[in-house]
Amino acid sequence: MKFIEGGVCAAKGFTAAGIHCGIRKSRDKRDLSMIYSEITASAAAVYTTNLVKGAPIAVTKEHLQNGTARAVICNSGNANTCNADGVEIAGKMCASAAAALNISEDDIIVASTGVIGQPLDIAPITAKMPQLAESLSKDGCADAAEGIMTTDTVIKEVAVEFEAGGKTCRIGGIAKGSGMIHPNMATMLVFITSDAAISPEMLQKALKTDVETTFNMISIDGDTSTNDMVAVMANGLAGNDEITEDGEAFSAFMRALNTVNVYLCRMIAGDGEGATKLLECRVCGAPDENTAKTVAKSVICSSLIKAAMFGADANWGRVLCAVGYSGADVDVDKIGVSFKSAAGEIEVCRNGAGVEFSEEKAKAILLEKEIEILVSLGKGEAAATAWGCDLTYDYVKINGDYRT
């Protein structure tokens, strides 16, 4: 398996585009994106667990009941959530895209992201839909990725190439996510494409399984969004025998999907609102995976730990505190903690108690852009990883007037 260029356009038969249609006031910001498969693709998705859900989710769920799709349409700048006519507007987005692409509107995945509770004007979307469809190209991934961004500061895209059933296959993805991100699934918008041949049932199994150890392990700010969705389309143009059951080919697909998702997870966490550092908590020595995941998420969600990482303060007591209130069954007297980055690694706690360490070395380690918080529980062989970011002054600035 290797990383390649192209994002969602890397897979055969997929094109993408992103334009400014007028939802956002700034003409310099793209706000409408499309991804298109030249043939019908197997499709699967997972959605936010928030009881308050954006209208596009209801429409997409209905469209994906048959396990197939051909296109994604997504706007930014307005979440189309908590609007009386939200489902109607989402339906009109699909109808407009279907007309521009000459496909069935039931074959469209629709999504929206942005401000909650403000009416979404369909007029600028429908007016620019033909232009968007005409703009589709194999080079359109970056534009599409930009068109789904809200407070994101960087485009998030990735693609990999792998072998399945003796054929070369590709998986690519784009994502948006910077704030209102917290487990569980989903925690952002992610769109994934593949040219592998795989049945809708196995595609759904692959996605649902993988998000448990990837997107469900991110937290930026403790708020689970209303519009979160991870959707994947696989059109089979790679020519491999269709994956319809567990086996070597399905395992290869799962490894590639996980590689894409982990890459996007790290990009999302590192681009948290106001963030200056990517935090990765790796828990080992747990009696089972659930315990490891619970501890890792508790550490990465701690506001006090996030603030300490912003200040490059090796306050390991806060890590133990987060482990202790996580609800996991741990032996406090066996816990070990270390901090690691490109500047080195330093042990700060052993068997639940502090050890002597150089504050200067610890600070140098924590001043790096990517920091690993290593927690050993000393009770087994299970492990888990969670991702987050530091908590900075800019987070409050960004969210203090986000709507206005």
37 strand-pairing partners: 14
Give catalytic residue positions: 187
Distance set, CA 280 to CA 44, 45, 151, 209, 343 (Å): 28, 26, 22, 21, 15
| 20-29 LR contacts (CB < 8 Å, sep 24+) | 21/75, 21/124, 21/125, 21/127, 21/128, 21/132, 22/124, 22/127, 22/128, 23/75, 23/76, 23/77, 23/78, 23/114, 23/120, 23/121, 23/124, 23/125, 24/76, 24/77, 29/76, 29/77, 29/146, 29/149
Phi, psi values for residue 271, rounded to 5°: -105, 25
Q: How far apart are CA 41 and CA 193, in angstroms?
A: 9
